[in-house]
Amino acid sequence: MKILIYVSFLGTKYSGYQIQKNAPTVQQALCEASERVFGFKCDVTGCSRTDSGVHANMFCAAVSESGKSGIDTTIPIKKIPLAYAAVLPNDIAVFDAKEVDDDFHPRYDVEYKEYVYKIYNRSISDPFMADRSWHYPRVLDDGAVERMNEAAARFVGKHDFASFMSSGSDVTDTVRTIFEAEVKREGALIEFRVSADGFLYNMVRILTGTLIAVAEGKIEPTDIDAVIESRDRKRAGVTAPPTGLYLNRVVYRD
């Protein structure tokens, strides 16, 4: 068996999820903690490659003994989160754990993922939202937020999202299916929530930047279809900063 751990983390101090030679990453922290918990080196395979500064309310990773397909431990599955709590830094937490088959893959067995992007929309910044949202100081009225939501609805469906992929990506299959996309406002906080069977590099951040362009009147909600069909990155909006992005939910096929 493998152990699937459910993780939340504040990504501010980390250079993304994947291990790097000269920078701290979430994967490195989980590998080091797993070795302390189980008493041997472990492979920790994540469900996604988050960028530097990106956060997660739910991130899933499969843990196995290094060089093996599974893991053998006497620690009761319910106590594994407590064991991790004793050795992880306070900006990373394992809040649940489950047993999965040896052939389970936390990335390829995903049915869909949900991301949330948070925009703090007030002229004066809030120190408690720093590094946890995109501070957008131009205050948007209710009509602008409604236009953002109208535009977001046009993302839904199976489309070629090449217009919303970072120009530096080498991915050739750019077709994805978005199941839900909506924008809501509560006070100064605007949230863009989107779920899909997969996401391209920087896709959610570019979708967010495009919604801001809609709010600013640079793109009309009805223009979204043409932006998608163009497959032209220049037709979409800016890439929103990573600080407001959260991997919110991961759902598997079973």
Residues involved in catalysis: 51
The Cα 177–Cα 188 span in angstroms is 30
User: What is the Cα–Cα distance from 111 to 219, expressed in whole angstroms?
Assistant: 32
The answer to whether the beta carbons of residues 59 and 47 sit under 8 Å apart is: yes
Q: What is residue 33's three-state secondary structure? A: helix
Evaluate whether 210 touches 147 at the Cβ level (below 8 Å): no
What does the alpha-carbon distance between residue 218 and residue 245 come to, in Å, rounded to a whole number? Answer: 23
Distance from C-alpha of 3 to C-alpha of 195, rounded to nearest angstrom:
25
Angle of CA points 205, 26, 34, to nearest 5°: 150
Residues whose CB is less than 8 angstroms from the CB of residue 135 and which lie 6 or more positions away in sequence, other chains included: 120, 122, 125, 126, 129
> Facing residues of 210 across strands?
none
Determine contact, residues 46/106, Cβ cutoff 8 Å.
yes
